[in-house]
């Protein structure tokens, strides 16, 4: 199978880098132009909305801790303390039993 001259020229055109200059002709359909403009407008809208939200967040005061949240956190901490105290008591009892066993063996 021999490659024709036309196919060689097409391969050469595809492998050559594209040159951009004033002689190039760009063809855009109206659908493509509308899509590009719409995309740019959407990005600009998102940017300015985000920028406005950030400025608003800088001005707003920090939210206070609600009474319910405080009570729940306090209850959780108290439970943790009581559990830890019980664990420490259990560990002390275990150590005392082990010490008694060691002294009994002597």
Radius of gyration of the chain (CA): 38
Would you write out the chain's pLDDT as a tens digit for each of its 106 residues?
Answer: 555 677 766 666 555 566 667 777 777 788 988 999 999 999 999 999 999 999 998 898 887 778 888 899 999 999 999 999 999 999 999 999 999 888 888 6
Predicted local confidence at residue 13, as pLDDT: 59
Within 13 A of 55's CA, how many CA atoms are on the CB side? 6
Number of other CB atoms surrounding residue 63 within 10 Å: 6
Instruction: Report domain extents, the chain.
Output: 28-60, 62-106
The dihedral over CA atoms of 8, 9, 10, 15, expressed in degrees to the nearest 10, equals 90
pLDDT at position 23, please? 75
The DSSP letter of residue 65 is: P
Residue 101: per-residue pLDDT: 87
């Amino acid at each position: 199978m021999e490659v024709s001259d036309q196919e060689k020229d097409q391969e050469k055109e595809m492998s050559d880098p594209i040159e951009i200059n004033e002689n190039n002709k760009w063809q855009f359909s109206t659908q493509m132009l509308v899509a590009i403009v719409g995309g740019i407008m959407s990005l600009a809208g998102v940017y300015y909305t985000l920028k406005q939200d950030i400025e608003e967040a800088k001005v707003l005061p920090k939210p206070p801790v609600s009474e319910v949240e405080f009570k729940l956190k306090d209850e959780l901490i108290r439970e943790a303390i009581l559990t830890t105290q019980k664990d420490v008591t259990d560990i002390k009892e275990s150590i005392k039993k082990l010490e008694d066993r060691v002294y009994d063996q002597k």
